[in-house]
Chain A
Amino acid sequence: MNDMTPTREQREAKLEGMGCKRKRVEDIRFTQGKGNYVDDLKLPGMLHGDFVRSPHAHARVKKIDDTEALKVPGVLAVITAETLKTVNLAWMPTLAGDVQMVLADGKVLFQNQEVAFVVATDRYAADDGINKVVVEYEPLPPLIDPFKAMDKDAPVLREDLAGKTTGVHGPRKHHNHVFEWTVGDKDLTDAAFRKAEVTIKEMISYHRTHPSPLETCQCVCSFDKIRGELTIWGTFQAPHVIRTVVALIAKIPEHKIHVISPDIGGGFGNKVGAYPGYICAAVASIVTGKPVKWVEDRIENLTATSFARDYHMTTEIASTKEGKVTGLRVHVLADHGAFDACADPSKWPAGFFNIVTGSYDFPTAHLSVDGIYTNKALGGVAYRCSFRVTEAAYCIERAMDILAQKLNMDPAELRLKNFIKPEQFPYHSALGWEYDSGDYHTAMRKMMETVDYAGLRKEQALLRAAFKRGETREIMGLGVSFFTEIVGAGPSKNCDILGIAMFDSCEIRLHPTGAGIARVGSKSQGQGHETTWAQIIATEIGIPADDIMVEEGNTDTAPYGLGTYGSRSTPVAGAAIAMAARKIKAKAQMIAAYKLEVHEDDLEWDIDGFRVKGLPEKTMSMKDICWAAYNSVPPGMEPGLEAVSYYDPPNMTYPFGAYICVMNIDVDTGVYKVRRFYALDDCGTRINPMIIEGQVHGGLTEAFAIAMGQEIRYDADGNVVTGSFMDFFMPTAVETPHWETDFTVTPSPHHPIGAKGVGESPNVGGVPAFSNAVNDAFSFLGSTHIQMPHDYWRNWKAAKDLGAVA
């Protein structure tokens, strides 16, 4: 050894493997404006399509006249449902087992529904054409209020379902009913409530909102008539699923469909499903023989493609006088809009809402969900959460606070009293999940100590007294949230999309010089996969992360994967990456043994290569093994060094966290100030702490937006009143609070690297923290529950209703 020999620490550091705050490699291009997004794509002869949309929430379409539109210079075609019927595409299946109109067929069911698709030589001509298409409507009574959907005399929305008393998820109770889904033991739960010393009941609504990524949904479709091949560049979170859907509905052989997701500017669930824009662009390309681009604008994005939430959750908890919970009963009215277009795994009409028992040891629980149709945009997707997990977390976290209030107990204490204990894991919940791991008490106590919870409560008590004496107009709230997520869909035993099991995949190919490429079935929309996936490989096989190129999104080259949403990438694709790397490592070990002339079992792994046990100077680095793999493998072994893994997870993973929000509200204006927000996350093994922190910052900002004002609201006639960023609350850096982040580490016992997924935790856990802070602030004035969103005027109204302002 001479002085130039790197130390173990230096070798370790050079890898930039797991645990390293590696800078995001993709940011080099993003921060220089060199990203490659769908709208950057310009093909020779490319045409542009755009939609004529319905001004009405509910109306019969009597006539569509395109005569004047076709006279607009540059307009080439106007596609309507009648056109699509000739290719059997006027309707298409949704991922939730429903069907939806691609273009209005006989009637429109929500404002801004797609009515006709105008194809032109440029975007301006297309829009001029849109304004010349004359559509004759006969308005019908709109159904907006979900609580009136199943009234006897409620208008019939879905005429296509006339007479259908069963849907894919079982019996339908009413013409506007989609499904009923029940889980849990009803009798046992009813009995628990009969015996309960204390009960609470509250209708907790999680309002309709929207993922609203910076880049809207878009695609370019190009059909090659000679080859019979369709290429689609699109903003797809799940490109392989899109390819399969297109093959199934357009009857083009799957190998002749090329789906490419280039760089994506945020998805948050908005870009999982298939939208009319994709179908119309594809049909337009087939009809015209030219590439066709479709790019949604902001208003279209907010009003037509996939809202989220709109869950109305009547929640009851049974408990002892001492605050030990004995039962949970929840009924959900789920507003799906005009078509059920959730992007949930097929067998889960309400997603994983049955995680609603949260972090607490409920001996029994019962859940029922009624899905209904209204004259609103279709959905609803999982906005930065595993399917309906954020609704569930909000429901139970709000309800626990309400119970604490009723028991006159501190909400943090109530939680500590009811947490699932560390020794109870793996824990079987009353609603059917097996929680893999957790240490809730440690996380909660760490949060309480860090923020001086007791001190904050004292300060609140003083301020409340001062308020009652008329010395201040400010009130203060502490919003505690302790969430458990269920992510990483999912095991083939319970998760599929259109019959395809929800595995994920990775293919690693190492080149002779010790660099390589990893292709993965997931698809980053900003999560930084190109950075973190390489880090997993670096640690697993000792090749520096910088020497691994990560590629996703091209269905021709990437192995089949189910895409990125529901925090599934690290739990599922991340596991596939580790498993593929381990296959490579196993082969590498055989090569090293051969070259070092020892038995495989005499080798041990050492950071970036193998060494002979007991002879630390006898080593072979992974770089050298790569070279050997291409010229001197053991007799009988195939040359090369590559591996593929398809990973079917044995279970979901269960990240958790303890959040707290400290907020003051001026009752006269309703203006709030977030004084402090602390978020402790436990996502198991931490691959890149800097990326985790970035994800938490982003998710908390969304949670802040949702809880404090971000809403898709309709007036009584079904007009969207929050259809632009002027009214749909999108906070800027100025409004966004300062975030404090922290962590504990409880690795997942079944995941190859112990990781659990974190990207969505802050959205899931953040919303209840904000809402609980507002509710906690007002509780001393006598309220039990104030519905979200908590924007200024609603805070003022709450104060007024409670008699705190004149």
Chain B
Amino acid sequence: MIPGPFSYHRPATLADAVKLLSTLGDEARPLAGGHSLVPMMKLRLASPEHLVDLHGIAGLKGIRRDGNTIVIGAMTTQHELLASDEIGKSLPILDETALLIADPQVRYRGTIGGNVANGDPGNDMPALMMTLGASYRLEGASGAREVAAAEFYQGAYFTALEPGELLTSISIPVPATGHGYAYEKLKRKVGDYATAAAAVVLTMAGGKVATCKIGLTNLSETPLLAEDAAKAVIGTSLDPAALKIAAAAAVAIMSPAADARGPVEYRKHVGGIMVTRALQRAVGRAS
């Protein structure tokens, strides 16, 4: 568990970072909190020759509200999300999810940018970002672009990021007041990735579900939006029959791998239960 040799760079501006990444090419990797990348390097599953540390770039940190959008700098740590009043007020599901990520030590270092950019299907933030309709700002040598979270994930560790591009911030539309939300995660212990997890954001009108989004974590190569499942509950009062249909629709799109958390059948089964429980808890919180 010793990483291979690498050289270390700490640019002070975004422009310098982008420049470094483009000149160093494929052998360079951005380094954020290091809590996904460094373990991979220690196992020599990743052996970048250059690490470009983003901690020196002041502009990549911070949380601000821009009208009806919350903009979070990529280098904002999970701990900072939890400490933010703005997030607690307008995006409580982000707090609920961040608290289910590992332990305080990991959350002090791990960043939201690293979490969503990593492309690990086990990470919790990506499915949540899809559920919230977030978009990512990507900046590279050829300029900046916005990519919807829902379009970003292509496969395990494969994303829309082009070589040399950095994810600089995340924009999240503030959910409607009175929305219901829940992130349900089944894990074996603190510090474990999800056996299955589901994010739900919904609104109610006249006792019926008006809008609903459901995201799934670690139940496929990429995070998933369970669109049929969400559709199935709209217009219902989330009665047992509707819940059952929704869970079945969500299970239908799951394709987890068997691992020490359990066989495929189990992970799908509990995936359905996470969806059910998240829906139930979300509706209880909606007004």
Using CB atoms and an 8 Å cutoff, list the residues of chain A in contact with chain B: 50, 123-124, 126-128, 131, 297-299, 668-671, 709, 713, 721-722, 725-727, 729-732, 734-735, 791-793, 796-797, 805
Contacts and interface: CB of A to CB of B under 8 A. Distances in A.
B186 A127 contact: no
Contact of B189 (A299, A669, A722, A735): A735
Contact of A131 (B44, B188, B189, B260): B44
Contacts of B186: 669, 671, 792
B4 interface: yes
Given A732-B189, A732-B191, A735-B189, A796 B2 contact: no
A126 B2 CA distance: 9
21 contacts: A50-B2, A126-B2, A127-B2, A128-B4, A128-B5, A131-B4, A669-B186, A709-B188, A727-B260, A729-B188, A730-B189, A732-B189, A732-B191, A734-B190, A791-B188, A792-B186, A792-B262, A793-B195, A793-B263, A793-B266, A805-B269
A792 B260 contact: no
A298 B1 CA distance: 8
B261 interface: yes
Which among B1, B2, B193, B259 has the greatest number of chain A C-beta atoms within 10 A? Answer: B2
B188 A669 contact: no
Nearest to A796: B266
Contacts of B191: 725-726, 732
Contacts of B193: 726
B24 interface: no
Which among A727, A735, A792 has the greatest number of chain B C-beta atoms within 10 A? Answer: A792
Interface string B260-287: 1111001001100100000000000000
A721 B258 CA distance: 11
B269 A731 contact: no
B2 A124 contact: yes
Contacts of A796: 262, 266, 269-270
Given A669-B186, A793-B262, 12 more contacts: A50-B2, A123-B2, A124-B5, A128-B4, A128-B5, A668-B269, A671-B186, A727-B259, A727-B260, A732-B103, A735-B190, A796-B266
B273 A668 contact: yes
B189 A731 contact: yes
* Chain A interface mostly: loop
Contact of A299 (B1, B195, B270): B1
B273 A669 contact: yes
Interface string B116-128: 0000000000000
Contacts of B192: 726
Contacts of B3: 124
Q: How large is the interface on B (under 10, 10 to 19, 20 to 34, 35 or more residues)?
A: 20 to 34
Nearest to A297: B1
B190 A732 contact: yes
A727 B190 CA distance: 12
A709 B260 CA distance: 10
Which among B103, B188, B191, B193 has the greatest number of chain A C-beta atoms within 10 A? Answer: B188
Contacts of A731: 189
A730 B192 CA distance: 11
B189 A729 contact: yes
A671 B192 CA distance: 15
A666 to B, nearest CB: 9
Nearest to B193: A726
10 closest pairs, A vs B, by CB?
A: A793-B262, A127-B2, A727-B260, A297-B1, A793-B266, A734-B190, A732-B190, A735-B189, A669-B270, A668-B273
A663 B5 CA distance: 50
A734 B189 contact: yes
Nearest to B103: A732
Nearest to B263: A793
Interface string B1-32: 11111000000000000000000000000000
Nearest to A725: B191
A345 B261 CA distance: 38
Contacts of B270: 668-669, 792, 796
Contacts of B273: 668-669
B260 A713 contact: yes
Nearest to B276: A668
B1 A793 contact: no
Which among B1, B189, B261 has the greatest number of chain A C-beta atoms within 10 A? Answer: B189
A670 B186 CA distance: 11
A713 B260 CA distance: 9
Contacts of A298: 1
A773 to B, nearest CB: 18
Contacts of A725: 191
A792 B2 contact: no
Interface in B122-146: none
Contact of A722 (B1, B260, B262, B269): B260
B260 A721 contact: yes
Nearest to A122: B2
A128 B41 CA distance: 13
Nearest to A669: B270
B264 to A, nearest CB: 11
A669 to B, nearest CB: 5
A50 B1 CA distance: 11
A133 to B, nearest CB: 14
Nearest to B260: A727
Contacts of B189: 729-732, 734-735
B266 A797 contact: yes
Contact of A793 (B103, B190, B261): B261
B69 to A, nearest CB: 35
A726 B102 CA distance: 11
A279 B273 CA distance: 53
B47 to A, nearest CB: 9
Nearest to A731: B189
A298 B43 CA distance: 11
A509 B260 CA distance: 54
A730 B189 CA distance: 8
A501 to B, nearest CB: 41
A671 B187 CA distance: 10
Contacts of A734: 189-190
A731 B270 CA distance: 22
Contacts of A730: 189
Nearest to A791: B188
Contacts of A123: 2
Contacts of A792: 186, 188, 195, 262, 270
A361 B212 CA distance: 65
Interface string B162-202: 00000000000000000000000010111111010000000
Contacts of A727: 259-260
B169 to A, nearest CB: 30
A791 B263 CA distance: 12
Contacts of B263: 793
A732 B269 CA distance: 26
